[in-house]
Amino acid sequence: MEKGDWKIVVILAIVLLLAVLLAVNLGRLFSTPVATDVVRQVVNAT
């Protein structure tokens, strides 16, 4: 591995994690109306 390769691996890992979280959140939003309140709480907490 070259010196710059680890940055690419880290970026890909972060993107993959965000994609999974987004998919899970969208699934919850469509399955339960309560999820909108949860999202608001998370947004307010950050």
Contact call for residues 34 and 28 (beta carbons, < 8 A)? no
Six token digits for residue 8? 């690419």
Please give the Cα distance from 27 to 22 (Å, whole number): 8
Separation CA 28–CA 42 (nearest Å): 14
Query: Which strand (E) or helix (H) includes residue 23?
Result: helix 5-31
At residue 39, the pLDDT reads 76
pTM of the model: 0.50
Q: Please choose, from the candidates 42, 45, 46, 7, the residue with its C-alpha nearest in 3D space to the C-alpha of residue 22.
A: 42
* Per-residue tokens: 1: 């591995």
| pLDDT (tens digit per residue) in 14-24 | 999 999 998 88
